[in-house]
């Protein structure tokens, strides 16, 4: 028999900066092999262990393959099969009746995040649908808004540079970044730089895999990064190591900042806040500011998300991204600071999502506060219907016990569109089957490199699974919404969002400094056709040696790097960077620390992608079991032995984990890797049972790692 083999180029859809190119081999309509694209300059043929097994996900026996309707009590996870027409009719009927009731359409809340990063599936017809309906708006703050807002104050956009050019840096600082795990293809770049002589430093309270494999680990106390950055500035100005020419030409407020840090952030004070020694702070400041002299090249700070998840997370990022201006590193390609390259892509999000359809005065619900929203504790009408897609809030949201009790409300109508029966789907009234990346078309930018690429479908949808866009087309038809808003094909949507940038950002957004509007180079898509992106990765139309701020031109109101922010002053806040302690800080909250003295960090286990993949046996096997890493002194004080089960708790909740007594953390800090599905735990919760819905100082972001707990043996 002849074997019909075809290869299809695809893109990994997951929420990860690497956005890998994939090559799928298809035989008789079935995907039989999948590998990293060897021709993708960033992927280089290599996939992470999770996505290397993506076919196991696609063809997993637990896939939801047809619509389901609840039969058991709420939360029981008991369903019967239904049809698409019946499911769509029921959802539309509920939405219509809620919209017509005194509560109005705002009693409907969409809930989505980044289950897929594809432009169409992440946010396009879904947004148009909920905007047209007049549903509550969702502020998607669970991951990145604190840092976005922080960057926006200083730079007017995200801290970015060309990641591939970082091979020419000679000092690379992983600051709150577990790069070896969360950004593995950039870790390769760091290693290439190291072969050429670079030193790798990691600043993290936890001896992460990245910290273990770095030249130097700086075990900072959680939530104190702004203080360290200000201490570094103190040393730089004290020694006169600053690039005065760059400051004079391209920055505002260098003199004010200098006066502030010299007076208020001497090294001994910073040492007391951060838990680092004075020698460590002096040495780090010297390595950083003098890297060109000491190591022969500029420095790059890979500033990531770990350090943002604290009460002062916005200020921490705002402050850290001031450093490259002092060091003069923006002058060099690949140097400076890198948070996210997402704003290098001038996608026409306005066209895709149509914010102009939102009725004036519509309320916004912060997604971090789903617990409050489901318990009627936010202003406006009660949430009576919840539509979840691209997210698994039962596992990923803070204050899990209250999220679950909210989802368990019998009067709440919940729809979940997903590939699997997640913990959230257990609480649904209707579950809709979603396609995986191999079954639909999409278009991808990246937040960790500079290529744009279309994802070509490799196989037909399994069972009755449908892509997100198609679900909202069906719902819009049933609701009687304007066909011209919803009947565009996915290909037309992709073509338009690659098209010339309409720059249709509202004036309010531009002046709010909210960080959601950073302006990418308007011509970066020039000459790039959809057809070219379907054939493979296409580099943005940027100069070869792209260094976005080499000659200033920051998209801030002043056009300069704003070390001093007039906008912040006008908003009634401190115009200069400063240290904002965590909400739950042992130093400033001794009352709370007396009961719960340990700072708990809960990043995802390396074999999970937040809660995605945690339902696959081989991934859970790789993750092992739930552990709690605790310093020997803290363990001894509590009579906790290595390998013993412990209870981790605070006023919000508790979970069980196995103690690993180790010096991977300093005294006062504990780490438990997440994000398990509750159905695979012995206590029906995960680490988010203890986390808080308090938000960050800037951007309204999540504060997962700003979390005081106590630990006791579980015997
Ligand atoms: N394998 C894998 N890769 C992923 C993900 C995943 O779940 N699994 N998630 C993806 C997503 S959505 C994101 S947002 C990114 C996140 O990428 P990262 O930001 O790298 O991820 P985290 O592991 O959350 O945090 C990084 C480190 O910050 C440390 N940290 C915590 N608090 C502080 C602090 O106050 N100061 C400092 N300096 N460090 C602190 C943590 O101990 C952790 O080691 O990764 C993406 N990549
Ligand atoms: N304690 C603690 N909590 C955290 C974090 C932490 O580090 N610690 N990390 C936080 C971070 S950084 C983030 S980004 C959030 C992530 O929160 P979420 O975005 O909710 O992430 P996932 O857990 O990956 O869930 C994504 C879901 O989308 C589904 N999905 C994938 N593709 C599609 C599709 O095409 N259509 C539809 N309809 N569904 C699809 C997947 O099957 C999966 O169930 O979690 C946050 N929560
Ligand atoms: Mo994230």
Report pLDDT digits (tens) over 80-134.
999 999 999 999 999 999 999 999 999 999 999 999 999 999 999 999 999 999 9
Distances (CA, A) of 120 to 356, 443, 503, 529, 593: 18, 7, 19, 17, 46
Give the number of whichever ligand sits closest to the CA of residue 180.
1
Give the residue ranges of DSSP H helices in 240-299.
244-250, 254-264, 267-274, 278-289, 291-294
Is 507's pLDDT higher than 50? no
Is 481's pLDDT higher than 70? yes
What distance in angstroms lies between residue 495's CA and the mean position of ligand 3's atoms?
27
Across the range 448-471, mean pLDDT stands at: 98
Q: What is the SS3 assignment for 578-630? A: CCCCCCCCCCCCHHHHHHCCEEEECCECCCCECCECCCCHHHHHHHCCCEEEE
Across the range 697-712, mean pLDDT stands at: 98
Task: Write down the architecture of domain 5-58 according to CATH.
Answer: Single Sheet (2.20)
Angle between helices 468-479 and 84-100 (to 10 degrees): 60
In tens, the pLDDT along 330-346 reads 999 999 999 999 999 99
In tens, the pLDDT along 243-289 reads 999 999 999 999 999 999 999 999 999 999 999 999 999 999 999 99
In tens, the pLDDT along 293-327 reads 999 999 999 999 999 999 999 999 999 999 999 99
> How confident is the prediction for the chain on average, in pLDDT?
95
Helix, strand, coil share (%) of the chain residues, nearest 5? 35, 20, 45
128 φ, ψ to 5°? -55, -40
Other C-beta atoms lying within 10 Å of the C-beta of residue 184: 18
What distance in angstroms lies between residue 194's CA and the mean position of ligand 2's atoms?
33
Q: How confident is the model at residue 683 (pLDDT cuts 50, 70, 90)?
A: very high
pLDDT of residue 2: 59
Record: fold of 590-713: Barwin-like endoglucanases (2.40.40)
Percent with pLDDT over 90 in the chain:
95
CATH 2.40.40.20 placement within the chain: 590-713
622 exposure class (CB count in 10 Å sphere: 0-12, 13-18, 19+): middle
Across the range 348-355, mean pLDDT stands at: 95
pLDDT of residue 3: 67
CATH 3.40.50.740 placement within the chain: 68-142+347-441+460-488
Q: What is the CATH number of domain 68-142+347-441+460-488?
A: 3.40.50.740
Query: What are the residues whose beta carbon lies below 5 Å from ligand 3 (ion)?
Result: 143
Three-class DSSP category at 432: strand
Other C-beta atoms lying within 10 Å of the C-beta of residue 399: 23
Across the range 192-213, mean pLDDT stands at: 98
Across the range 35-39, mean pLDDT stands at: 98
To test the pocket of ligand 1, the residue of 186, 307, 664 to mutate (highest count of ligand atoms within 8 Å of its CB) is 307
CATH superfamily name and code, 146-339+556-570: Dimethylsulfoxide Reductase, domain 2 (3.40.228.10)
To test the pocket of ligand 2, the residue of 10, 65, 419 to mutate (highest count of ligand atoms within 8 Å of its CB) is 419
Ligand 2 atom 41 nearest Cα: 115
Ligand 1 atom at shortest distance from the alpha carbon of 17 = 46
Q: How confident is the model at residue 519 (pLDDT cuts 50, 70, 90)?
A: very low
To test the pocket of ligand 2, the residue of 142, 407, 679 to mutate (highest count of ligand atoms within 8 Å of its CB) is 142
Tokens of 243: 């690039």
In tens, the pLDDT along 154-199 reads 999 999 999 999 999 999 999 999 999 999 999 999 999 999 999 9
Whether the CB-CB separation of 424 and 688 falls below 8 Å is answered with: no
CATH 3.40.228.10 placement within the chain: 146-339+556-570
Ligand 1 atom at shortest distance from the alpha carbon of 50 = 1
Output the ligand 2 site: residues, CB below 6 A: 15, 113-116, 121, 142-143, 305, 389-392, 395-396, 417-420, 422, 434, 468, 602-604, 609-612, 674-675, 687-688, 691, 704
Q: How confident is the model at residue 517 (pLDDT cuts 50, 70, 90)?
A: very low
To test the pocket of ligand 2, the residue of 390, 650, 655 to mutate (highest count of ligand atoms within 8 Å of its CB) is 390
């Amino acid at each position: 028999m002849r074997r019909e083999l075809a290869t299809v180029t695809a893109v990994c859809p997951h929420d990860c900066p690497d956005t890998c190119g994939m090559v799928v081999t298809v035989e008789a309509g079935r995907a039989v092999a999948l590998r990293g694209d060897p021709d993708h300059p960033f992927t280089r043929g290599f996939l992470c262990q999770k996505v290397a097994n993506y076919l196991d996900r696609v063809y997993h026996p637990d896939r939801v393959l047809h619509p389901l309707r609840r039969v058991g009590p709420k939360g029981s996870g008991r369903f019967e099969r239904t049809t698409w027409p019946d499911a769509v009719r029921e959802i539309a009927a509920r939405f219509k009746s809620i919209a017509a009731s005194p509560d109005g359409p705002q009693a409907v809340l969409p809930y989505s995040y980044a289950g897929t990063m594809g432009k169409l599936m992440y946010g396009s017809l879904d947004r148009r649908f909920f905007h047209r309906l007049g549903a509550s708006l969702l502020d998607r703050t669970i991951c990145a808004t604190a840092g976005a807002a922080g960057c926006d104050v200083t730079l007017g956009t995200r801290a970015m540079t060309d990641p591939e050019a970082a091979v020419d840096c000679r000092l690379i600082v992983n600051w709150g970044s577990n790069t070896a795990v969360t950004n593995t293809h950039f870790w390769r770049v760091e290693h290439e730089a190291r072969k050429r002589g670079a030193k790798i430093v990691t600043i993290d309270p936890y001896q992460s895999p990245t910290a273990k494999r770095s030249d130097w680990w700086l075990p900072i106390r959680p939530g104190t990064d702004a203080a360290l950055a200000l201490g570094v500035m103190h040393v730089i100005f004290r020694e006169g190591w600053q690039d005065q020419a760059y400051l004079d030409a391209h920055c505002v407020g260098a003199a004010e900042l200098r006066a502030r840090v010299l007076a208020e952030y001497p090294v001994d004070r910073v040492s007391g806040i951060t838990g680092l020694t004075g020698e460590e702070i002096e040495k780090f400041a010297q390595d950083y500011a003098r890297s060109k002299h000491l190591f022969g090249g500029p420095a790059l700070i890979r500033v990531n998300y770990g350090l943002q998840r604290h009460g002062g997370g916005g200020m921490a990022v705002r402050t850290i991204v001031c450093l490259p201006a002092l060091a003069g590193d923006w002058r060099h390609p690949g140097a400076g600071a890198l948070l996210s390259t997402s704003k290098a892509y001038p996608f026409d999000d306005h066209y895709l999502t149509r914010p102009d359809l939102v009725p004036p005065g519509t309320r916004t619900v912060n997604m971090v506060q789903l617990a409050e929203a489901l318990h009627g504790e936010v202003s406006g009408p009660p949430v009576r219907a919840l539509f979840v897609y691209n997210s698994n809030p039962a596992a990923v949201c803070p204050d899990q016990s209250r999220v679950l009790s909210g989802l368990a409300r019998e009067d709440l109508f919940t729809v979940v569109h997903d590939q699997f029966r997640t913990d959230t789907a257990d609480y649904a009234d209707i579950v809709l089957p979603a396609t995986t990346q191999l079954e639909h078309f999409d278009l991808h930018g990246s937040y960790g490199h500079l290529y744009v690429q279309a994802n070509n479908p490799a196989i037909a949808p399994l069972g009755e699974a449908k892509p997100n866009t198609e679900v909202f087309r069906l719902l819009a038809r049933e609701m009687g919404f304007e066909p011209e808003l919803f009947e565009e094909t996915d290909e037309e949507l992709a073509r338009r969002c690659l098209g010339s940038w309409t720059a249709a950002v509202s004036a309010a957004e531009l002046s709010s400094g909210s960080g959601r509007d950073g302006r990418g180079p308007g011509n970066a898509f020039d000459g790039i056709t959809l057809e070219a992106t379907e054939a493979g990765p296409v580099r943005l139309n940027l100069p070869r040696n792209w260094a976005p701020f080499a000659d200033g031109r920051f998209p801030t109101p002043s056009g300069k790097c704003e070390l001093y922010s007039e906008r912040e002053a006008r908003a009634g806040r401190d115009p200069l960077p400063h240290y904002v302690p965590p909400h739950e800080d042992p130093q400033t909250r001794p009352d709370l620390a007396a009961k719960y003295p340990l700072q708990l960090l809960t990043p995802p286990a390396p074999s999970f992608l937040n809660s995605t993949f945690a339902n696959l046996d081989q991934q859970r096997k790789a993750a092992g079991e739930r552990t709690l890493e605790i310093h020997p002194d803290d363990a001894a004080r509590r009579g906790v032995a290595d390998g013993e089960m412990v209870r981790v708790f605070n006023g919000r909740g508790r979970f069980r984990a196995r103690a690993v007594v180790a010096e991977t953390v300093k005294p006062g800090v504990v780490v438990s890797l997440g994000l398990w599905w509750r159905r695979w735990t012995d206590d029906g919760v995960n680490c988010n049972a203890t986390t808080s819905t308090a938000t960050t100082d800037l951007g309204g972001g999540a504060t997962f790692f700003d979390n005081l707990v106590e630990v006791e043996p579980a015997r």
